[in-house]
Amino acid sequence: MRLAALISGGKDGILALHHAIWEGHEVAYLVAMFPRRPDSWMFHVPNVHLTPLVAEALGIPLVRRATSGVREEELEDLKAALSGLDIDGVVSGAVRSRYQKERIDRICRELGLASYAPLWGRDELSILRELLEEGFEVLFVGVFAYGLDSSWLGRRLDEEAIADLLALRDKYGISLVGEGGEYETLVLDAPLYRSRIEITDYEVLWDGYTGVFRVLSARLVPKAR
For the stretch 168-221, pLDDT in tens is: 999 999 999 998 889 999 999 999 999 999 999 999 999 999 999 999 999 999
Q: Which helix (H) or strand (E) holds 44?
A: none
DSSP letters of 106-154? HHHHHHT-EEE-TTTT--HHHHHHHHHHTT-EEEEEEE-STT--GGGTT
Higher pLDDT, 71 or 150: 150
Higher pLDDT, 36 or 162: 162
Answer yes or no: is pLDDT of 39 > 90: no
d(CA 183, CA 185): 7
pTM assigned to the model: 0.94
Position 18 confidence tier, pLDDT thresholds 50, 70, 90: very high
Q: Which residues pair with 79 in a beta bridge?
A: none
Phi, psi of 156 (to 5 degrees): -85, 150
Amino acid in the structure at residue 118: P
Q: How many CB atoms lie within 10 A of CB 52?
A: 13
Position 73 confidence tier, pLDDT thresholds 50, 70, 90: confident
